[in-house]
Chains A and B, each alone.
Chain A
Amino acid sequence: MVNFNRFVLDNGLKVLVHEDYTTPMAVVNVLYDVGARDEDPEKTGFAHLFEHLMFGGSVNVASYDEPLQRVGGENNAFTSNDITNYYITLPAANIETAFWLESDRMLGLAFSEKSLEVQRNVVSEEFKQRYLNQPYGNVWLKLRPLAYKEHPYKWATIGKDLLHIEQATIDDVKSFFAKHYNPSNAILVVGGAVNTEDIKLLAEEWFGSIPGGAKPERKLPAEPEQLQERREVIKADVPLNALYMAFHMSARKDTGYYEADLISDILSRGNASRLYVSLVKEQKIFSDINAYLTGSSDPGLFVIEGKLTAGVDTATAEAAIWEQLEELKSGLVSEKEFTKVKNKVESTMVFAEMSLLDKAMNLAFFELMGNAADLNSEVQKYLVLTPTDIQRRANKIFRKENSSTLLYLAN
């Protein structure tokens, strides 16, 4: 159970406070409701580049990191296709420093041409390190546009092309900030050894005077239903053949997400899971196989990926996966197997409460989805499901015409 108090400032900033006195630390998490899906198709990778620029100094504070480190704090951030999330951990006694820094960069940025230039280079090296200079590193640059034709999930957060990053201008950056980085588009979560009344005062003091701005209206093209199987083959200098299959599925908030999540657990969570036992251990078709969800706010993907054992042909491997999927479609999961995956979900939730930062991030994310209180009833959404729900969902997802298959072959 993660307790919290909530209040909203006049400018629209939502503030959640989670009091936890088992630690001397505090966490300040700011979530902005903007991600790669909100980018102009001709300027992809921008939300993420922008995240880097948020550390380049703000209207009244020349350096973001230095004053924070001086009071014993640390910070980082990440960008996904849906959100951009910034977080600070620091001794609770010094929490006002976090309010000072976070509020000033919500008020306005003041970075230089040089800062933009350098971060373009840094992001470009990040692109190389994560996507280009790694075996199979570019899979998601290929799989996204295969699975999505209309929705902006068709590009990765790093961007679809290095060129987009290289061409970013100061004006682009300014207009992105003006549109998305407003109190009305943000959720602030403060957790740790803090009390709500103090945080109310601090929030009013530091964030209260920032103009609220208009919450941007999101009008994204919906992904049309896929009607035909899609396939692509890539050849590259990799040591092993690999197989990736992506199926369209529900959005994060829908019941279908929970059903699909349990399906992915049945298929590949742990050494007693179906794909591992049957395809790695018994049939020895794969050396490694996984099923997981993108878990995105708009309808996402159910992904199965595996590396083939040397000597096994891809048709055999693909057929073996389909056989497993057909089994889910035609039969009911046994009571024992179903209890197993549910128990795992339940204990995972309890273990997640060990980390203050995780709790703060989860509160912010659930608040964005509608209500932070849903975090505490999340496990119920899994527990009410039945084997019939699983079977029905499997039939909905695992259809050839709903699949995108990528064969990644060794040269």
Chain B
Amino acid sequence: MIDRTQAPAFRQIENIDLIKAEAYALDNGVDLYVINAGTQDLVRIELIFNNINWNPAKPLQAFAVNSMLVEGTSKLTALQIAEHVDYYGAFLQTDYNYDYALVTVYTLTKHLEAILPIIKDVVTGSVFPEEELETFKRNQKQKLSVNLEKNDFLSRRLFNRALFGNSIYGYAAEAADYDRLDRDQLVEYFNLAYKPGNCTIIASGKVEDDTISLINENFGKHWHKGSEIQTNLFTFPARGGDEHYFEKEGALQSAIRLGKLSVNRNHPDFAALQVLNTVLGGYFGSRLMANIREDKGYTYGIGSAVVSLQNAGYFFIASEVGADVCSSAIQEIQKEITLLQTELVPDEELALVKNYMLGSFLGGLENAFSHADKFKNIYFSGMDYDYYSNYVETVKSVSSEKLLELAKFYLNFDSFQKVIVGKK
């Protein structure tokens, strides 16, 4: 007979096996990394280009080039590109983030041969037609005008600006920036950034020899080195904490975002800091959720994170809270941080967080794509797989004393940038 009052026995996660990327070099020297796994006959191929030559006078260059790669080449119109990709049931997307720009294609392996030449054309022969650029600018401005009505969106912009100033990380697009965007800027950036010397390819899924040959045929030949470029490099001076209040009449909720510069993945404290962050706001049972949602009912959700970028790391707490309880919510956040700085995390709670994090790490390795994502994290931080063994080891072994020390060092509330959009 079962005893429902007793939790069943459970096992701690011992081993976590990552499928490691295999390295290849294409004929022209482009690095190709392969995660070969899975049973479905499909593949994801990512072409990744570092963001380069940041120029505050042309802040939208890199983003606009990436978005508009699919808007026409010297051979194909935007419509022909889209029709071709769709006809084979493939998915082509472009993504842009703080450190790099991606061109990703998902396709059934049987159609790879038909799809890759299109991708090649897109990354080598895009022409950014004037008419498409005008459409892009108009639609982006409209989208921006809607986003500017969202408190959460505004809070993110103000926060990034406060942390990262006039760099690519701190930049917040304005409608006028779109007006100043012209075709020459795009062509200039495209000719510099979308070159083999600035490209890494990652293939994941069922990637067999045929696929590797096809990748080499398309991206390893007739694609040559470009001019000298400068990968974006920034340093950010630490600054004192400050409040940034953007009042919105009649707001029902306020978006809050609090945090500061921190360390990134390359720093030895990063893994332990992730444990501390999880205790505070990194999972559903976190202290911030338990207090501010589950005890006070001030919000639908609150969380915190440590983020690793190539040139910086940062920590933040974010939530949307009832406008009438905004100040109380911030007080409670401060209380939770003080607690972490003054009292040891109890053993039972720490054990729970450790198990949760290991389970979550294991669960995050669902398929070939997720293993490739894990590889990207370390590769673009200039690290190797030891990072993950160290991560697992740290999660298992970090002590409450260490967390208290980290909380004192990294979570000084007075030094936070505190952004509030709405009413306080």
Tell me the A residues contacting B by CB distance below 8 Å.
Answer: 22-25, 59-61, 65-67, 69-75, 89-91, 93-94, 96-97, 99-100, 103-104, 107, 117-126, 128-130, 132-136, 205-206, 237-240, 269-272, 277, 280-281, 284, 287-288, 307, 309-310, 336, 339-341, 343-348, 350-351, 353-356
Q: Does B268 contact A (CB under 8 A)?
A: no
Q: Is the interface of A mostly helix, strand, loop or mixed?
A: helix
Contact of A65 among B89, B284, B351 (CB under 8 A): B284
| 8 A Cβ contacts from B350-399 to A | 351-353, 355-356, 358-360, 362-363, 365-367, 369
Some 29 contacts from A to B, beta carbons below 8 A apart, are A23-B365, A66-B352, A69-B283, A70-B10, A71-B10, A74-B360, A89-B363, A97-B8, A118-B294, A122-B294, A125-B322, A128-B253, A129-B253, A129-B300, A133-B320, A135-B146, A239-B145, A239-B146, A240-B142, A270-B85, A272-B86, A288-B142, A288-B143, A309-B142, A343-B86, A344-B86, A350-B40, A351-B42, A355-B366
Q: For the complex, what is the distance from the CA of A238 to the CA of B138, rounded to whole Å?
A: 17
Check B8 against A100 for contact (C-beta < 8 Å). yes
Q: Does B233 contact A (CB under 8 A)?
A: no
Q: Does B39 contact A (CB under 8 A)?
A: yes
Check A270 against B151 for contact (C-beta < 8 Å). no
Q: Does B339 contact A (CB under 8 A)?
A: no
Instruction: Count CB-based A-B contacts (< 8 Å).
Output: 208
Check A104 against B355 for contact (C-beta < 8 Å). no
Q: Does B192 contact A (CB under 8 A)?
A: no
Contact of B369 among A60, A61, A354 (CB under 8 A): A354
Identity of the chain B residue whose Cβ is nearest the Cβ of A130 in the assembled complex: B300
Q: For the complex, what is the distance from the CA of A59 to the CA of B253, rounded to whole Å?
A: 35
Q: For the complex, what is the distance from the CA of A54 to the CA of B7, rounded to whole Å?
A: 18
Smallest Cβ distance from A153 to chain B, in angstroms?
24
Check B82 against A270 for contact (C-beta < 8 Å). yes
Q: For the complex, what is the distance from the CA of A343 to the CA of B7, rounded to whole Å?
A: 48
Which 10 A-B pairs have CB atoms at the shortest separation, nearest pair first? Answer: A72-B359, A121-B297, A347-B89, A271-B82, A343-B89, A272-B82, A239-B145, A60-B4, A96-B8, A287-B142
Check A125 against B299 for contact (C-beta < 8 Å). yes
- CB-CB under 8 A from A206, the residues of chain B are 2
Q: Does B313 contact A (CB under 8 A)?
A: no
Residue among B107, B145, B359 with the most chain A CB within 10 A? Answer: B359
- CB-CB under 8 A from A120, the residues of chain B are 297
Q: Does B405 contact A (CB under 8 A)?
A: no
| 8 A Cβ contacts from B88-126 to A | 88-91, 106-108
| 8 A Cβ contacts from B221-262 to A | 251-253
Contact of A66 among B285, B295, B366 (CB under 8 A): B285
Identity of the chain A residue whose Cβ is nearest the Cβ of B84 in the assembled complex: A272
- CB-CB under 8 A from A348, the residues of chain B are 89
- CB-CB under 8 A from B367, the residues of chain A are 22, 354-355
Q: Does B307 contact A (CB under 8 A)?
A: no
Identity of the chain A residue whose Cβ is nearest the Cβ of B356 in the assembled complex: A69
Check A344 against B145 for contact (C-beta < 8 Å). no
Task: Apart from A347-B107, A354-B42, list 6 A-B contacts with CB within 8 A.
Answer: A23-B366, A66-B352, A73-B356, A134-B149, A336-B87, A339-B87
Q: Does B271 contact A (CB under 8 A)?
A: no
Check B7 against A350 for contact (C-beta < 8 Å). no
- CB-CB under 8 A from B88, the residues of chain A are 343
Identity of the chain B residue whose Cβ is nearest the Cβ of A410 in the assembled complex: B145
Identity of the chain B residue whose Cβ is nearest the Cβ of A24 in the assembled complex: B362
Check B79 against A271 for contact (C-beta < 8 Å). yes
Smallest Cβ distance from A270 to chain B, in angstroms?
5
Q: Does B403 contact A (CB under 8 A)?
A: no
